[in-house]
Amino acid sequence: MQDNKALDLLNQIYNSTTILNFGALFSDVTPMFVNPAEPKKGDDVTIRFRTARSNVDRVVLIMEDICIPMKLQESNDVFDYYYTVIKNVHEPIKYHFEVFSGRLSVIYNRLGILRDVNRDYDFKIVPGFKTPDWAKGAVMYQIFVDRFCNGDKSNDVLTGEYSYVGQQVQRVDNWDQLPSEMDVRNFYGGDLQGVINKLDYLKSLGVDVIYFNPIFVSPSNHKYDIQDYDYIDPHFGKIVNDGGDLLPEWSNDNSQATRYINRVTNRENLEASNELFIHLVEEAHRRGIRVILDGVFNHCGSFNKWLDKEHIYDKNPSYKKGAYVSADSPYRSFFKFSDENAWPDNGSYNGWWGHDTLPKLNYEESKKLHDYIIRIGRKWVSPPYNCDGWRLDVAADLGYTEEYNHRFWRDFRKAVKDANPEAIILAEHYGDPKAWLQGDQWDTIMNYGAFMEPITWFLTGVEKHSDEFRGDLIGNADAFRGSIRNYMSYFMYNSLYVAMNELSNHDHSRFLTRTNHRVGRIHTLGAEAANENLNFSLMRAAVVFQMTWPGAPTIYYGDEAGVCGWTDPDSRRTYPWGHENKEMIKFHKDIIRIHKKYKAILTGSLKFLHGENRLIAYGRFNETEAIAVVINNDFVEKRVRLHVRQLGVRNGRTMRRIMLTGEDGYVMNDEPTSVHNNVLQVVMPKMSAAIYVCKI
């Protein structure tokens, strides 16, 4: 995996009096090379750069247009460390390095060694920007509540309870039934009591954080069309007052759905559901597990009390008139209407991507809406709820303009962090997130570009929706490194190390299904086809990558138990209680223990070690630990030479292989291998992954 200008650099070496050791050159923004790594405003910041011992003439830090010669700070038998101190840092600083050896000079930035300066890839430090320490490397677990565990059958959605998207909702009595093509109105009964019942299981798995898909009042099973932001849905919580009738079989008029109306508007049910959620968070915290909520603030739902298209709230004097019902509604400014003369029942509101079930919220023209959602952001991270943060749905599209989006998220961050300084704010985002990761808006993102997509292409050749197959990307080490290195450069250290690293989630196909190398969806091949031709060795290799890569490894519920599925809705299958893949669960427990044991994995530096057809190797290291990870995606055994001296492993030391996965499973037999001539030579079986560790 050579850099583009590598040949030019090699040519210059022959004209230099010193052979520059490229592998030794290193710096990043982890605590080993920046102190403090997350400075407060006014702090002095020490920045370090590593070279091979007695190998360079000088190192210069270039900040804006200022060249700062770095001093030799310390040396050992392997490396020299150069440093400089930036005094009294109040504003963001951007910098790169220039290294001189004889007549040769090279640039070093977030992409590594380059011939020419590219300021877009400078390192960056923002004083005052800190992400929660608890989230760095935290093991997260995503729960789609309706499909996780049914702990209270009395709150189940009933068949015919109300109508959604033109048809009456259905309760699915068979927990193991696979989702249907039109699944949004089918309910399996998973709820918060079910999560409470399984907290000990999550603790035994090694989970640090639960991320819930939306749990507020909503008519759909996914609940991304929120009806009331102030309350947990009683179908997930508690129904203590259950009066009213189901819809007549022939009706889709929800004004007649009196049982549903009572369940979701009765204050007794709403308050009891919030109380159950308080209990859940307390029980999770007691086990050392934090809780993150899904914030869907770009749009709400057509059932929402602010709009009330379904006339759920219209006849209840405790609620104000919705903007669909009345032109005089106090919520009229919350939505854009194209026809100002269509009331009552004005259906001309703007829907998200044209969906009338998802009314887009109109922040730019409603200070009241802005203040309401800011209050919601603060409310759920404050006592008595005490949640630990927010995942923000389609966050970059919140308003009608990007300028407003940035302004809103600055306000949101201030409100949330004032209420709970340890709360995390992470956003769903595709593409370049830099504009939102400047320390004043989001903490981090769901990590598609620098995690899910590159490893999916490398191991399976299948796009994350299982909509495309690219044989040229399977095992393409150059494409993998180029893509993942580029996207990683969008992050500052503190955002990258808390990024949500998922193999699967509710919007995409299950990773285990992607290992079948097939293109398909539930309506093209059928649900059963998602279970066929699976490759568990690829799944294990992917999890090894997930648990050793920078960021917060996030398990989509059931991935650890062997759940398959095409993309939404098939990826939302129920957790297979009673027929889990127990070997896969045991593997997850073991690899999570490894993940948590080594600080080099949680917060250490990253260095690529090797890449060839169908094989990649990389290292994680800090001052005291070195970890080498090798993934062989080939159908043949491979012998690999790893230059682990780049990680600080000295000649003659022993590295212990603590895990090896393969076609038949995995072993943890602590096998020692000595380093000779600064190289660790390993034999990788076909379709395998290995982890080697060493104390430096």
Question: Measured between alpha carbons, how far is 622 from 598 in angstroms, rounded to an integer?
Answer: 10
Query: Could you tell me which residues come within 8 angstroms of residue 11 by beta carbon, excluding any fewer than 6 positions away?
Result: none
Provide the token pair at 612.
């060839």
CA distance 613 to 475: 6
**29, burial (CB in 10 Å: exposed 0-12, middle 13-18, buried 19+):** buried
> Positive or negative CA dihedral for 368, 440, 556, 483?
positive
What percent of the chain shows pLDDT beyond 90? 96
What tokens does 41 get? 């405003």
C-alpha closest to that of 647 among 689, 682, 680, 673: 680
Amino acid 64: pLDDT: 86
Q: What residues contact 481, with CB distance under 8 A and at least 6 apart?
A: 1, 608, 611, 616
Say what the pLDDT of residue 11 is. 45
pLDDT digits (tens, 9 = 90+) for 662-696: 999 999 999 999 999 999 999 999 999 999 999 98
Backbone torsions φ then ψ of 616, nearest 5 degrees = -130, 155
Q: Which two tokens stand for residue 428?
A: 């769903």
Neighbours of 67 (CB within 10 A): 10
Answer yes or no: is pLDDT of 8 > 60: no
- Burial zone of 154 (CB within 10 Å; 0-12 exposed, 13-18 middle, 19+ buried): exposed
Predicted confidence band at 6 (pLDDT cuts at 50, 70, 90)? Answer: very low
What integer is the mean pLDDT of 129-155?
98
pLDDT tens figures, 488-506: 999 999 999 999 999 999 9
At 587-619, the pLDDT tens digits run 999 999 999 999 999 999 999 999 999 999 999
pLDDT digits (tens, 9 = 90+) for 155-166: 999 999 999 999
First to last CA, the chain: 26
The pLDDT of residue 19 is above 90: no
Look at strands 290-295 and 389-392 and give their pairing.
Answer: parallel
d(CA 216, CA 687): 43
Q: pLDDT tens digits, residue range 522-562? A: 999 999 999 999 999 999 999 999 999 999 999 999 999 99
Give the model confidence (pLDDT) of 271-323 as tens digits. 999 999 999 999 999 999 999 999 999 999 999 999 999 999 999 999 999 99
Average pLDDT over residues 630-638: 97
Query: Which of 291, 295, 290, 329 is closest to 309 using CA atoms?
Result: 329
> How many Å apart are CA 296 and CA 287, to the nearest integer?
28
The C-alpha R_g of the chain, in whole angstroms, comes to 27
Q: Quick one: which of 501, 447, 441 has its CA closest to 126?
A: 441
pLDDT in tens, 393-442: 999 999 999 999 999 999 999 999 999 999 999 999 998 999 999 999 99
d(CA 378, CA 297): 13
Cα separation, 693 vs 593, in Å, equals 14
- Phi, psi torsion values for 418, nearest 5 degrees: -65, -40
Tell me how far apart the alpha carbons of residues 190 and 566 are, in angstroms, rounded to a whole number: 21
* Region for residue 102 given its phi and psi (left: phi exceeds 0; alpha: psi -120 to 50; beta: otherwise): left
**CA distance to 28, 544, 556, 602, 659, per residue, from 553 (Å):** 21, 10, 10, 10, 18
Q: How far apart are CA 651 and CA 647, in angstroms?
A: 12
CA dihedral 399, 230, 221, 206 (to 10 degrees): 100
CA distances from 549 to 385, 425, 598, 609, 628 (A): 32, 21, 12, 14, 11
Q: Is pTM beyond 0.85 here? A: yes
Cα pseudo-dihedral 684, 685, 686, 691, rounded to 10: -50
Lowest-pLDDT choice from 116-125, 232-241, 301-310, 627-636: 116-125
- DSSP SS3 for 488: helix
- At 572 the pLDDT is 98
Above 80 in pLDDT, residue 3?
Answer: no
Cα–Cα distance measured from residue 363 to residue 360, given in angstroms and rounded to the nearest whole number: 9
Q: Which of 138, 143, 147 lies closest to 178 in space, CA to CA?
A: 147
Please tell me what DSSP assigns to residue 491.
S
Q: What confidence score (pLDDT) does residue 407 get?
A: 97
Where residue 115 falls among pLDDT bands split at 50, 70, 90? confident
Q: Is the pLDDT of residue 243 over 70?
A: yes
Strand partners, 216: 232
Q: Which tokens sit at 532?
A: 């066929």
Q: Provide the phi-psi class of 214: left if phi over 0, else alpha when psi is between -120 and 50, else beta.
A: beta
Task: For residue range 323-371, list pLDDT tens digits in order.
Answer: 999 999 999 999 999 999 999 999 999 999 999 999 999 999 999 999 9
pLDDT score recorded for residue 10? 45
Helices and strands (H, E) in the chain, number of each type = 15, 33
Query: How sure is the predictor about 18, in pLDDT bands with cuts at 50, 70 and 90?
Result: low
Peptide bond into 36 cis (omega under 30): yes
Q: What is the DSSP letter of 131?
A: -
Q: Are strands 66-69 and 216-217 parallel, antiparallel or unpaired?
A: unpaired
Residues 149 and 195: beta-carbon distance below 8 Å: yes
Residues 60, 55: Cα–Cα separation, whole Å: 15
